[in-house]
């Protein structure tokens, strides 16, 4: 018997031409990992019967769980069902239950008559089990074939997620041989990965069987991921071991350790800490233009501490909205520690927040309203006690400068909250 | 001889557990398509010698261009170079030129002594051609083996992009058999894909050989992609044909056609139109919390028309910052057409912009400061002539509600700019 392992297949030319980023695959990979099913392969293939059947054949040879997304629309570019009939040696048959469900969707939500393309969506491979789609017209399908379970879901992320959560998960939970996969990711900042590796070499040497350490560098930080893959019965023991290793690493790397990566990042920890300390936060953004605000508020519940902010992209808005003085800008330029501080202070006083953060800088690709070089930025934090600015040189690519600056802003907020 | 076709392989457990979304693959897919190299497969494999060599073997059997990212770090979780030696039957040798480059990077940028892990990065497979990495310590590698060109690049997106643009592109441009791939994507809104298919069936029937039409539904819109894949000599003719088909479709779908998808979306067309018409734009955002502002300003050059905005997440900020009256909120609740209009008007008058857009609504998952159901939102547009609000019901998932609302806001801005 093959060990329990999964492959995720995405069908769609839009992925192969780079028009769409494959977030479906990362969602499914994460979900399977959480369920204790190891993902061994992720693959993407063209919208042709030949490529789809080849991909299925390969997957059936190397794993025993196959999750497929895409290619199930009602239009003629979608040929997945034809490929399935060929691969599973079956034929399309009309499914009355699916048809009634379609009629219901059209009558109540879509409010339009069904056409031939829609009616065809009720024709499904005879040997499949239908996974009813509550959010769209393309039903999901499940096959069990030569010891392999394969599920086919539409590519629209929302419909796929709902099918996975509500229909597929319970089936996967029944599979024997699931492992417990325990992970913890520590975030470090400012030390390169090779130097980190050197400093924790002995910890890495002593990792137990089934445990591993991975280094994920990006945007000036290195994330260290500890993973343990054990049988379900060993979960509690493994969790304890992962925690012990994490503590060792935190201790060893105390000068560059920033925190654990929680679900979704620092914004979750900021929410918890701000609520706990009763601190309200506001933002004043120039070149990050709402990215700090939208990151802070991406977390459900953030309205408990995040008041809002000011996007003062144009220099005049810094003056009229935040009350930064013209003279200060003339003396120091808009990209300066002084203006960053004035923006943060202005935002704090105008919003009534206990803590405000401001950004000003040049994200490039060309010089803006100041003489600052591309990538030079200031972030300022203001509280009742003090207002201080931090200077950073963030590289030369617009996207990277903004991304790193938003990360850094969250870190500054978090560290300031710790001190308040 | 195999037809020119490419495979993209991503190496890394972080992808297989869903910790990282594979944006490298979509960047490479897009870049290869632009160069006229058809991408047939995208695959992801584990960080083990066995899995890497299997993935390489498969790729070498099915395509003749293989681009690989990831697994080249200095730490022991990265085993790609060992796999390459095995697969290409070669051995690691010390490369003095790479070593000197590393010494230079450490002396001038990293400002730290090199350690054994770093020095190991100068040991490369004997048979490879080195692709020097200007932004990191892991060099890229190029192999030519049994008629297949394969390139190995680090997984850090910034380093990978730079290597691709500056080293690899010129090599790929030399390949014989590149096709011309011409694409145009039309955005439609409010009509389902099956109904669209029905309405343009005859256009689809008459598509010339090598031309195809794909339907990409998401967030209430369907993108229609016309693709032509022809030999390099037929490019101009194919471009004309793609334009003719696009015009036919626009004509046929005039009631739901929203525009062409330019590089990166509507924000580029808004920038052009606002500049052309001399209109300045400001934002007032509640539940979208800076997402409209950051989308507008994501385009380089946006400072020519985008002034900035107000993120009034908390109700009090709507009153104190935008001048919305307490009585109005009490009478209609914060999620109402009246408050949306007052926010938009406040933002326009305070910023001095000719056009302002405001958002207020409930993104969920629970009810907020108002009685509005989850997913109910208002967007208001204000100009000197009029201020009007639009109501939408955007579904029930926080992420989806915000995403759809930002798209809709950009559409409203664009349509208003057309009328100004």
The alpha helices in B65-144, defined as continuous H runs, are 80-87, 96-105, 116-120
Of A45, A74, A76, the CB nearest to B41: A45
Both structure tokens of A164: 């996975």
Contact A19/B290, CB-based, under 8 Å?
no
pLDDT at site A416 = 93
pLDDT at site B325 = 96
Q: Does B367 touch chain A (CB under 8 A)?
A: no
Rounded distance, CA A50 to CA B20, Å? Answer: 30
* pLDDT range class, residue A258, cuts 50, 70, 90: confident
Which of these ranges, A46-50, A248-252, A260-264, B130-134, has the smallest mean pLDDT?
A260-264
Of B30, B185, B313, the CB nearest to A308: B313
Q: Does B292 touch chain A (CB under 8 A)?
A: yes
Q: Does B330 touch chain A (CB under 8 A)?
A: no
pLDDT at site A368 = 62
Which chain A residues contact residue B32 at CB under 8 A? Answer: 18
* pLDDT range class, residue A191, cuts 50, 70, 90: confident
Both structure tokens of B242: 């793609």
Mean local confidence (pLDDT), A175-192: 87
Both structure tokens of B167: 């080293």
Do the interacting molecules here have an ipTM over 0.90? no
pLDDT at site A90 = 95
pLDDT at site B216 = 87
Which chain B residues contact residue A21 at CB under 8 A? Answer: 21-23, 26
| Residue among A7, A17, A191, A306 with most chain B CBs within 10 A, to mutate | A17
Of B20, B44, B314, the CB nearest to A308: B314
Q: Using an 8 Å Cβ cutoff, are B18 and A30 in contact?
A: yes
> Is a pLDDT exceeding 80 seen at residue A149?
yes
Contact A17/B23, CB-based, under 8 Å?
no
DSSP B188-239: EESS-HHHHHHHTHHHHHTPPTTEEEEEEEETTEEEEEEEEEEEGGGHHHHH
Q: Using an 8 Å Cβ cutoff, are B1 and A27 in contact?
A: no
The percent of residues in chain A predicted with pLDDT above 90, rounded, is 65
A181, β-bridge pairs: A229
Of A28, A42, A290, the CB nearest to B291: A290
Q: Using an 8 Å Cβ cutoff, are B20 and A26 in contact?
A: yes
pLDDT at site B219 = 63
Angle of helix A266-277 versus helix A398-419 axis, rounded to 10: 30
Domains and CATH numbers, chain B: 5-173 (3.40.980.10), 179-260 (3.30.70.2860), 266-419 (3.90.950.20)
pLDDT at site B264 = 55
The secondary element (H helix, E strand) that includes residue A97 is helix A96-105
Q: What is the pLDDT of residues B335-377, one digit of tens each?
A: 999 999 999 999 999 999 999 999 999 887 776 666 778 889 9
Q: Using an 8 Å Cβ cutoff, are B11 and A42 in contact?
A: no
Q: What is the pLDDT of residues A265-300, one digit of tens each?
A: 788 889 989 999 999 999 999 999 999 999 999 888
* pLDDT range class, residue A109, cuts 50, 70, 90: confident
Using alpha carbons only, give the angle B95, B97, B103 rounded to the nearest 5 degrees: 105
Q: What is the pLDDT of residues A16-61, one digit of tens each?
A: 999 889 999 999 999 999 899 999 999 999 999 999 999 999 999 9
Give the A:B interface size as CB pairs under 8 Å.
316
| Residue among B63, B67, B210, B308 with most chain A CBs within 10 A, to mutate | B308
**pLDDT under 70 in chain B at which residues?**
1-2, 219-220, 262-265, 367-370
Using alpha carbons only, give the angle A196, A199, A202 rounded to the nearest 5 degrees: 120
Closest chain B residue to A55 measured between Cα atoms?
B41
Contact B303/A364, CB-based, under 8 Å?
no
The secondary element (H helix, E strand) that includes residue A248 is helix A235-252
Mean pLDDT across chain A: 90
Q: Does A218 touch chain B (CB under 8 A)?
A: yes
* pLDDT range class, residue A240, cuts 50, 70, 90: very high
Q: Does A310 touch chain B (CB under 8 A)?
A: yes
Give the gap in angstroms from C-alpha A321 to the nearest C-alpha of chain B: 8
Both structure tokens of B397: 């998932």
> A105 versus A90: which is more confidently predicted?
A90
Give the gap in angstroms from C-alpha B136 to the nearest C-alpha of chain A: 10
C-alpha pair distances (Å), B201 with each of A160, A223, A387, B133, B226: 27, 51, 64, 50, 14
């Amino acid at each position: 018997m093959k060990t329990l392992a999964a492959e995720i297949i995405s069908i769609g030319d839009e992925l192969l031409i780079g028009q769409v980023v494959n977030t479906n695959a990362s969602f499914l990979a994460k979900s399977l990992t959480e369920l204790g099913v190891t993902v061994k392969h992720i693959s993407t293939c063209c919208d042709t019967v030949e490529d789809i059947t080849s991909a299925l054949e390969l997957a059936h040879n190397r794993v025993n769980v196959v999750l497929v997304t895409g290619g199930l629309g009602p239009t003629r570019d979608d040929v997945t069902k034809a490929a399935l009939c060929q691969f599973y040696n079956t034929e399309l048959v009309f499914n009355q239950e699916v048809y009634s469900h379609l009629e219901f969707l059209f009558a109540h939500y879509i409010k339009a008559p069904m056409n031939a393309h829609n009616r065809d969506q009720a024709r499904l491979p005879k040997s499949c089990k239908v996974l009813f789609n509550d959010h769209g017209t393309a039903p999901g399908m499940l096959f069990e074939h030569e010891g392999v379970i394969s599920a086919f879901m539409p590519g629209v992320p929302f419909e796929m997620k709902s099918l996975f959560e509500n229909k597929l998960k319970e089936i996967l939970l029944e599979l024997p041989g699931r492992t417990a996969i325990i992970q913890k990711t520590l975030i470090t900042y400012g030390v390169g990965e090779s130097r980190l590796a050197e400093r924790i070499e002995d910890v890495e040497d002593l990792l137990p069987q089934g445990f591993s350490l991975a280094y994920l560098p990006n945007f000036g930080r290195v994330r260290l991921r500890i993973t343990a893959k054990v049988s379900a019965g060993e979960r509690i023991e493994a969790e304890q071991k992962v925690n012990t290793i994490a503590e060792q690493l935190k201790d060893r790397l105390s000068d560059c350790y920033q925190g654990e990566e929680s679900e979704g990042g620092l914004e979750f920890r900021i929410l918890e800490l701000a609520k706990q300390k009763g601190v309200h936060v506001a933002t004043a953004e120039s070149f990050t233009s709402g990215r700090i605000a939208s990151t802070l508020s991406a977390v459900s519940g953030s309205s408990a501490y995040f008041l809002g902010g000011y996007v003062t992209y144009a220099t005049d808005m810094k003056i009229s909205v935040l009350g930064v003085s013209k003279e200060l800008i003339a003396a120091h330029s808009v990209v300066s520690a002084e203006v960053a501080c004035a923006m943060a202070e202005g935002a704090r006083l105008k919003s009534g927040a206990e803590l405000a953060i401001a950004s000003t800088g040049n994200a490039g690709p060309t010089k803006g309203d100041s003489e600052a070089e591309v990538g030079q930025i200031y972030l300022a934090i203001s509280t009742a006690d003090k207002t201080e600015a931090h200077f950073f040189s963030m590289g030369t690519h617009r996207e990277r400068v903004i991304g790193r600056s938003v990360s850094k802003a969250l870190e500054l907020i978090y560290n300031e909250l710790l001190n308040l």
